[in-house]
A and B are shown apart, each in its own frame.
Chain A
């Protein structure tokens, strides 16, 4: 199928004008083809015999694919034998690299790669207090790359965390430790890189609040079955927590930001990522425009994202663009956790388990009493470059107040 015009990408065979076995002259019309732009008769490129029709009437053939085979006689010795060519083949292209090859200049010799460090490498070295002469370079001519430095730091960290070296072994060469080596999946590698980068570059600080969600717990108990039946998803504590967090983020936009050397970038949108544990590892699908969703819509969205995450059906858009992260650590019974910030966000919040506990309550008119209340801890790790305790505390106080206010008068839709 020849390329007939700009933007023509395929053709549909309308009618063959010659039959198999017919002689064809050069330029004689062979076949009628319909394209998006025009209907055309395709003339034969060669004189010969129409040996075999490949595309039947009604077939749609992309440009470059065969329509038919024509047997052609050649004068041996005068030129290369014309091979049995599919009619309508494109001329063979030579692929020389013609565009300017975008070849990075070699690092200046004389100084040698050891004396030539990129700004990224120098910045990392400064940050970690490294002696770059100790780092092995895998770049051109042994240049130290950013990844080399990162690898060095990660390895050094692993070594530091290892138990103290065993006393010097006897002269016998030490045997490698017995055990299986688990190959690293791409997901595991990514998680490792992300966690390391976050832990490395962000000074983490942490605080926790506890909220009395008895009102919410009792109400939810009453309506959850009905909700499940009507909406097809569970009305989880997490949906309420996301709603509370989003409203608190609107009051405290500094928590919805990113650190950069040029300034703290306050994000325009609120896109909350919710951590999901899958068989492969942790993944954080993002709810875009979280502030636009009602509690019921959030519940359904969380259910959908969780399912798709576990089924490995998330799209690129689903995991991009997050501005804040929530982890439902309570789902596996945790009552307190110290999460690692999802780089490069400003903070991450965990929703711990809702646990009935005895607490002191006001008991008018006498004073105080001990009652059984549903208590839940909410923990926040935050980037201390961006936030101070007071701001983080104010945000968490706001989240707490909202969690404690959920009840039968809360609109779900």
Chain B
């Protein structure tokens, strides 16, 4: 096992998959010089401009051309420079990629990966901090993964590249260099569609994903020490398909559920998780299903006090767990 940064794990996954499968290509803005976050650093020198492709500044065609290359036998990994800029590509992602298998009755498929850095807490302001998963969560035919650790970043990216369906891979930009952790050796993948219990506990279950997983863990550790409250923290990892078994098992275990995400509250992934629990685990509930999320504002503002006001953190999560535990 080696200790790697989250961004290194992503780069390693790209490198290793490209090395193992000549069909894998990387395309996006600035990918040849390494990408604005250095995620694709070194790939051009290793694999050449045929497989590491700088595209024009046009998101719709970044995804559209990737879809076309996938029709013709390649396995493209398209990069959208910031998730905030994915909107021009919505048409290609939703009208096209998500539907290709369905509309051709299984004759064609769309094995593309679309990677995009998302998330706030880095003074990115309105257009470099957004969470966009909810828009796509609603669309059948798309898979969505959000790794929260370097090990998962590598394993999920591998799984996404090998998957025959279109996968949206949202990497948290705050995690890039901040998170350093053990990454297993060898050819491992993390299965898409499986959540991971990060911490056991019997008082409150916290469902979360992305960088918030770490905030939730911090909160849980503090609560255990200071208040003797034991929170079970479940990292969803895959938003689509969602690990419903894990959701229901986690809810039934404690009867008290808190869902935490950085995306704003209304219509976020948390709403669907809450609905699933209310419908299928009602008898196990010992308290209302709570959600902690950013307020319903268009995006995180730039000034630090404004952003901190909006962003969930360990302290706010801890307060919410404490209140729910006491209910």
* Chain A in direct contact with chain B (Cβ < 8 angstroms): yes
Inter-chain CA distance A113–B58, complex, in Å, is: 59
Is A72 part of the binding interface, using a Cβ–Cβ cutoff of 8 Å? no
Chain A residues lying within 8 Å of B309, measured Cβ to Cβ, are 96, 98-99
| Residues of A close to B311: CB separation below 8 A | 99
Say whether B308 contacts A36, CB under 8 Å.
no
B177 adjacent to chain A (CB < 8 Å): yes
Contact status of A6 and B124, CB under 8 A, knowing A102-B320, A119-B284: yes
Which residues from 197 to 217 on chain B have a C-beta closer than 8 Å to any C-beta of chain A?
A: 197-200, 202-203
> Of residues 207 to 247 in B, which have CB atoms within 8 Å of A's CB atoms?
245
Interface SS majority for chain B: mixed
Q: B residues within 8 A CB of A260?
A: 248, 252
Contact flags (1/0) for A137-169 with B, using CB distance below 8 Å?
001100101110000000000000000000000
A99 touching B284, Cβ below 8 Å:
no
* Known contacts A119-B282, A140-B327, A146-B255; is-contact A100 B315 (Cβ 8 Å): no
Q: Tell me which residues across on chain A come within 8 A of B308, comparing CB atoms.
A: 93-95, 98
Spot the interface stretch: B47-55, B88-96, B288-296. Answer: B288-296
- For the complex, give the distance between the alpha carbons of A121 and B309 in Å: 36
In the complex, which residues of chain A have a beta carbon less than 8 angstroms from the beta carbon of B327? 104, 139-140, 143, 145
What is the minimal beta-carbon distance from A187 to any residue of chain B, in angstroms?
Answer: 12
Per-residue B-contact encoding for A96-117, CB less than 8 Å = 1, 0 else: 1111111111000000000000
Chain A residues closer than 8 Å to B173, beta-carbon distance: 6-7
**How many A-B residue contacts, CB cutoff 8 Å?**
112
B304–A140 contact, CB under 8 A?
no
Nearest chain B residue, comparing its CB with the CB of A149: B286
Q: Could you tell me the distance between the alpha carbons of A28 and B1 in the complex, rounded to whole angstroms?
A: 46
Question: Is B110 engaged at the interface, CB distance under 8 Å to the other chain?
Answer: no
Contact between A99 and B292, CB atoms less than 8 A apart: yes
- A320 within 8 Å of B (CB atoms): yes
CB-CB under 8 A for A262 and B284, given A6-B123, A97-B316, A102-B323: no
Provide the bound-state CA to CA distance between A139 and B286, in Å.
Answer: 11
Instruction: Indicate whether A91 reaches chain B with its CB closer than 8 angstroms.
Output: yes
Query: Does residue A75 face the partner (Cβ distance < 8 Å to B)?
Result: no
Asked if A120 and B283 sit within 8 Å, CB to CB, the answer is yes
Is A100 in contact with B128, judged by CB distance below 8 angstroms? no
Chain A CB within 8 A of B37 CB: yes
Option from A8, A93, A102, A145 in Cβ contact (under 8 Å) with B286 = A145
Residues of B within 8 A of A123 (CB): 283-284
Give the secondary structure class of A's interface.
Answer: loop
A35 CB → nearest B CB, Å? 9
User: B247-277: contact bitstring with A at CB < 8 Å (1 yes, 0 no)?
Assistant: 0100010110010000001000000000000
Q: Which residue of B lies closest to A123 (CB)?
A: B283
B20 interfacial contact with A, CB 8 Å: no
Within 8 A of A (CB), among B281-327: 282-288, 290-295, 304-305, 308-312, 315-316, 319-320, 323-324, 326-327
User: Complex: how many Å from CA A100 to CA B177?
Assistant: 29
- Tell whether, in the assembled complex, residue A99 and residue B316 are in contact, meaning their CB atoms are under 8 Å apart: yes
Interface residues of A in 118-144 (CB under 8 A from B): 118-121, 123, 139-140, 143
Residues of the B chain whose Cβ atoms lie less than 8 Å from the Cβ of A121: 286
- The reply to whether A97 and B287 form a contact with Cβ atoms under 8 Å apart is no
Q: Decide: B326 and A139 in contact? CB cutoff 8 A.
A: yes
A261 interface contact, C-beta 8 A = yes
Residue of A nearest to B280 (CB): A262
How many residues of A are in contact with the other chain, CB < 8 A?
40
A104 and B287 contact, CB distance less than 8 A: yes
A188 to B44, CA, bound (A): 57
Q: Which partner residue on chain B sits nearest A98 by CB separation?
A: B309
State the CA gap A265–B282 with chains docked (Å): 18
Other-chain contact of B324, A3, A6, A36, A104 (Cβ < 8 Å)? A104
Query: Would you list which residues of chain A between 275 and 310 have a CB under 8 Å from chain B?
Result: none
Which of the listed residues B173, B177, B252, B294 has the most CB atoms from chain A within 10 Å of its own CB?
B177
B293 touches A99 (CB 8 A): yes
B176 interface residue per 8 A CB criterion: yes
The verdict on A390 contacting chain B, using a C-beta distance below 8 Å, is: no
Interfacial chain B residues near A95, Cβ < 8 Å: 308, 315
Report chain A residues within 8 Å CB of B254: 146
What are the residues of chain A within 8 A of B197 when measuring CB–CB? 316, 320
B290 to A316, Cβ gap below 8 A?
no
Look across to chain A and name the residue whose beta carbon is closest to the beta carbon of B309: A98
Tell me how far the C-beta of B9 lies from the nearest C-beta in chain A, rounded to whole angstroms.
14
Contact with B along A77-104 (1 / 0, CB 8 A): 0000000000000110111111111111
Interface residue from B123, B258, B288 paired with A105 (Cβ < 8 Å): B288
Complex CA distance for A121 and B282, rounded to whole angstroms: 11
Interface residues of B (CB under 8 A from A): 7, 37-38, 122-124, 128, 173-174, 176-178, 197-200, 202-203, 245, 248, 252, 254-255, 258, 265, 280, 282-288, 290-295, 304-305, 308-312, 315-316, 319-320, 323-324, 326-327
**9 intermolecular pairs with C-beta atoms under 8 Å apart:** A94-B305, A95-B315, A99-B309, A102-B290, A102-B316, A102-B323, A103-B323, A120-B255, A261-B283
Q: Which 5 A-B pairs have the closest CB atoms?
A: A98-B309, A6-B122, A102-B320, A120-B286, A146-B286
Chain A residues at the B interface, C-beta cutoff of 8 Å: 3, 6-9, 36-37, 90-91, 93-105, 118-121, 123, 139-140, 143, 145-147, 193, 260-262, 265, 316, 320
Q: A3-B123, A100-B295, A261-B283 are in contact. List 15 more A-B contacts (CB 8 A).
A: A6-B123, A36-B177, A90-B304, A98-B310, A99-B294, A99-B309, A99-B312, A105-B288, A118-B255, A119-B285, A120-B255, A139-B326, A146-B286, A260-B248, A316-B200
